[in-house]
Amino acid sequence: MEFSELIKLVGVLIVIIGFALKLEPILIIMSAAVVTALVGGLGIERMLVTLGNSFVANRVMAIFILIMLVIGTLERNGLKESAAKLISKVKGSSPGMAIGAYGIMRGVFAAFNVSFGGVAGFVRPVIMPMAEGSIEAKGYKPNEEHVEALKGMSSGMENVGNFFCQVLFLGSAGALLVQGTLRDLGIAVELVDLVIAEIPVAVTAVGLAIVLYFIRDRNMMKKFYGGGK
């Protein structure tokens, strides 16, 4: 591969280095997009035109761009601090409680096909500051190992809530896929019947995840902070 072609992959390198250094995800993505457009000969103007055309042609798929911009603006104006301050006012709050509450909220909204932007758009700027704020409210400095574990649990709750509850929406791609697959097998099933069958599965999955993460967080609270004050 010639160097002129290889240099076009510099955007991938920026993303890898940026996340390795734990820089701002939105800044990393936007920087990678701009640099890739420049080295690829696309230019800023053509890049914006391409993004605009792609957004119009794929409005539903590209809605995350708007969410990213909104979350980025809110984060710059104190979203993290506000989230941490809010959870600190809740008596007896804990990281496990914050993550569990998000799991319930995520499941309910996924059933109505409403997204908050996923891990980068909501978990990182809102849920993680709330989890860390609940630790600080008890008078402790968040332990780095505990924080890393909370990142995994928060992301896991996002995945569980979205994966198991999105099928509760009648027009979801997952429900249509299941219906089409069963139809090919000679089994005629209405979408409403699929949703009814999925309800206990979704409730059980989200419930077990909440219990698992709550117990794990409680054990880590005892390990790192002696159980809290």
CA angle 76, 58, 24 (to 5 degrees): 25
Q: Where are the alpha helices (DSSP H) in the chain?
A: 3-6, 10-20, 25-39, 43-57, 63-76, 79-88, 95-111, 118, 128-136, 144-165, 173-184, 191-225
Identify which of 146, 125, 124 has the alpha carbon closest to the alpha carbon of residue 135.
Answer: 146
Over residues 50-92, the pLDDT tens digits come to: 777 776 666 555 566 666 666 667 667 676 677 667 776 777 7
Identify which of 92, 79, 38, 114 has the alpha carbon closest to the alpha carbon of residue 218.
Answer: 92
71's tokens:
């979350």
- Lowest mean pLDDT across 68-77, 107-116, 171-180, 193-202: 68-77
Give the pLDDT confidence score for residue 152 in this predicted structure: 93
Task: Map residue 32 onto helix, strand or coil.
Answer: helix
CA angle 73, 77, 80 (to 5 degrees): 95
C-alpha to C-alpha distances, 221 to 77, 146, 158, 213, 217, nearest whole angstrom: 30, 8, 22, 12, 6
Q: What percent of the chain lies above the pLDDT cut of 70? A: 84
108's tokens:
């309910």
Q: Radius of gyration over alpha carbons of the chain, in Å?
A: 21
Over residues 139-164, the pLDDT tens digits come to: 888 899 999 999 999 999 999 999 99
CA angle 178, 184, 186 (to 5 degrees): 105
- Decide if 18 contacts 28 (C-beta within 8 A): yes
Q: Residue 112: is its pLDDT beyond 70? A: yes
Domain ranges of the chain: 1-57, 78-225
Spatial separation of the C-alpha atoms in residues 20 and 45, rounded to whole Å: 30
